[in-house]
Amino acid sequence: MVWHPKSARAREQTALLEWYGEQWRYVGGGSGAVNDPANADVIEIRGGGGVLSLTRSLDQPHSIATAPWIACALIDLGRDVGHLHIGNRKINAPESRKLVAVWTSPQVSRGARPVVVALGYDGTELSRMGPHDSLDTRTWDRLREG
């Protein structure tokens, strides 16, 4: 969940919620400066975070040691992006050109996000970012050419 208050000094508020026991539980969150997605060429991952799932610690005999990691990334998209593949999920690009991708993983791999692939409206691959990449492949290609 992301909240964008309308103010000159607005900050995005991101809350991570987890479904457990027929209700949503708050597990973490944060805030940051509001960013204009119009600056994104293809894919720009500009933030994110993660928390340890609390629900596994409530289920005995499970413990915090076996609890999954819940992670998210705030992603801005360029105008040519029709949809994304994030891991094995296909997500249509929202009109706002901004989205929050969320996934779970074992704690040991908590620093890695799924592969993010931006596809055009015709289905052609525009760019991609691997689990530890800070820039997408299209940006790397432009840097090499320049």
Per-residue confidence (pLDDT) for residue 3, from 0 to 100:
60
Three-state DSSP state, 103: strand
Sequence-distant (6+) residues with CB within 8 A of 86 are 101, 103, 114, 115, 116, 117
User: Model-level pTM greater than 0.75?
Assistant: yes
Task: Please give the Cα distance from 73 to 47 (Å, whole number).
Answer: 6
Per-residue confidence (pLDDT) for residue 61, from 0 to 100:
62
Per-residue confidence (pLDDT) for residue 111, from 0 to 100:
67
Per-residue confidence (pLDDT) for residue 26, from 0 to 100:
86
Output the six-digit token pair for 128.
């991609």
Per-residue confidence (pLDDT) for residue 118, from 0 to 100:
96
pLDDT lower than 50: segments of the chain: none
Cβ atoms of residues 62 and 56 within 8 Å: yes
